[in-house]
Structure 1
């Protein structure tokens, strides 16, 4: 996918500021709408209190950017929920925003007129977005008929949640690999991505889009929350994560986020192209055949011959692999 995209300049990326949010839940407010307004009146006070918890972050240009308040009805009552919006710079930011939420919780509850309960970040990091775009040459893909089928496959993922779930899983195959390799939180990224896949009308849909441009080439785009960092946590401590970051040559969280999304788009395009042409099973079965061959006892030297026979015979099973291996070793 990356080779095909390279003909038209490769992957173009952008991102927003690294803003994470923490929620402070306040229960038992008798006048929740008025409580919301009281908290907004105290916005500057609460922001100062939060910033005081992390002067180093403020020194590096980060810190609280805003405070918003929502009234959230539920089956158990109506809650006043304050959101601290914090620029966490090159950190993932969970510890920073959680500490700030803890610090302002009691004062926020006092102002709103209720009891504070939850105070924790949200993984719906919809203020911290990363984007990738690439043009995939139609002729390199096999012509306009293939390009049209890729658009049809992508359109089904946009319209149908059953297809969207698998389509988005393909995106996350690439994204989760880079997030894990660099010592970041795969579960946080995955939950944020899937929540972002819910459209404003409540429908689960595709995270990516594939369209044809004026020249008939495929233009792929992907935008999703990307809360990854280079400061703190396993990224700075784990030797494998350090090696992966060094291999990428990335020096900022924004660059890492954009790289991750570019990988997700490339992975997604490769899968959709395979589905629209030879089908995904051909590649899957080749990988599965190697696992079956090794499980049957094939050595690294014997595995390629066993895999070739399993695929050619269209019988990717352990018993068949054992028979092929026996024949090979007998000189057959």
Structure 2
């Protein structure tokens, strides 16, 4: 597939390319062509107090090479430059054999917190002695996941201050698993009270999904950073330093990680998943040492003349359940990706996060982040000023030359342009 110039095409031409490359069937192409939205009657069942639906741009970041497979990745984002940056990074990293990922595990964790226990150490041992019985109770509470090959896998107990906390690890298969885990936790809560004589404070899923870790890695030949060897080496060194800064400085770490989630959230939204859960897990993981740090690392290997990047994140993503089967555009997103499994989708998303981070650091350590942003900001201002499609390029071109780039200036430029035509 040749995706060169995809961003320059019209929407109808982009849809034709999806058709030519057989990424979507005709029914799905028609839905995109007609801009079919989430039906209001379904939206009304998905949330409370519904008044309508909110649309966001549904885009494509093409040409990701991940674990030897090609992916055209759907993005949902309102932020200018995010999709362009990811596409730019994917193209460069593809030339150096793309991304390699490792799925460390794919399980969720639930917890029951008990209090008012006189002898916590004794209670802990009683629970551990009954581990198999408790696992069986958890599985009996959700037999359908057991039939699909999942279910409760492990049970651990820890003492933290006034609490005795029981952690249950559950294989949720293709679902994110909140309902599965919560059902299991509530099923074992009362038996745990009886075993320990304690009181249940709560029984619920934890979003700190440390048993759903995924690592994405890439290595980029320096010749793809710049044709100038000296400049390429300097850029690789600066990107390594930028990575170190995100480990050392909290203020930079926050923005560093926000850039990673620019891409991750875009794919999580497009695939109908809970971006709040994914962000909660990721930011908690960034603080795993007790000090919040950048989630990705970049190292310049002088001997091999490559820049190596790595990103590890909890990624409890789903391909079944929730609103995934209800939203027509979400269904199209999964179709574009080739209906990946939950593990495959997790690999795609973490790879996108690493790509987004690469693009941001390359820009920050070379031309600066504003160079790409300003043109897109100018386009947004032109649209807000009321420019029609055929007028946008002219307004943007003039706006970029102005000392003050704002809505007032864009409006004056558009007014002048219209007057000249008349």
**Same fold per superposition (TM over 0.5):** yes
Give every structure 1 segment of 4 or more consecutive aligned residues whose post-TM-superposition deviation is greater than 4 Å. none
**SS of residue in 2 equivalent to 1:235:** coil
* C-alpha distance in 1 between matches for 2:360 and 2:158: 40
* C-alpha distance in 2 between matches for 1:315 and 1:219: 40
Would you say 1:63 and 2:151 are equivalent positions?
A: yes
Shift of residue 246 of structure 1? 0.7
Partner residue, 2:261: 172
Partner residue, 1:291: 380
Would you say 1:216 and 2:305 are equivalent positions?
A: yes
Q: Which moved more, 1:138-147 or 1:272-281?
A: 138-147
Map Cα deviations across residues 170-198 of structure 1 (whole Å, 9 max, x no partner).
00000011111101100000000000001
Query: Which ranges in structure 2 are unaligned for 5 or more consecutive residues?
Result: 1-88, 227-231
**SS of residue in 1 equivalent to 2:272:** coil
Size of the aligned set, in residue pairs, is: 327
**Equivalent residues in 2 for 1:230-245, closer than 5 Å:** 230-245=319-334
Map Cα deviations across residues 67-110 of structure 1 (whole Å, 9 max, x no partner).
0011111xxxx011101100111111111000000100000111
Shift of residue 314 of structure 1? 4.2
Alpha carbons 2:105, 2:214 under 8 Å: kept: no
Partner residue, 2:271: 182
* TM-score, structure 2 as length reference: 0.76
Shift of residue 315 of structure 1? 2.3
Map Cα deviations across residues 114-142 of structure 1 (whole Å, 9 max, x no partner).
01121000000011111111112222212
Partner residue, 1:88: 172
Q: Which moved more, 1:120-129 or 1:275-284?
A: 275-284
Shift of residue 210 of structure 1? 0.5
* C-alpha distance in 2 between matches for 1:159 and 1:206: 9
Would you say 1:257 and 2:364 are equivalent positions?
A: no
Alpha carbons 1:211, 1:220 under 8 Å: kept: yes
Partner residue, 2:118: 30
**Equivalent residues in 2 for 1:93-242, closer than 5 Å:** 93-142=177-226, 143-200=232-289, 202-213=290-301, 214-242=303-331
Alpha carbons 2:109, 2:205 under 8 Å: kept: yes
Shift of residue 264 of structure 1? 0.6
* C-alpha distance in 2 between matches for 1:237 and 1:53: 26
* TM-score, structure 1 as length reference: 0.96
Shift of residue 250 of structure 1? 3.4
* C-alpha distance in 2 between matches for 1:189 and 1:303: 37
* C-alpha distance in 2 between matches for 1:239 and 1:259: 21
Map Cα deviations across residues 35-79 of structure 1 (whole Å, 9 max, x no partner).
112111111111000011122211222111110011111xxxx01
Partner residue, 1:15: 103
RMSD: 1.2
* C-alpha distance in 2 between matches for 1:65 and 1:148: 44
**SS of residue in 2 equivalent to 1:302:** helix
Alpha carbons 1:17, 1:87 under 8 Å: kept: no
**SS of residue in 2 equivalent to 1:174:** helix
* C-alpha distance in 2 between matches for 1:144 and 1:18: 38
Would you say 1:331 and 2:388 are equivalent positions?
A: no
Partner residue, 2:140: 52
* C-alpha distance in 2 between matches for 1:124 and 1:43: 22
**SS of residue in 2 equivalent to 1:178:** helix
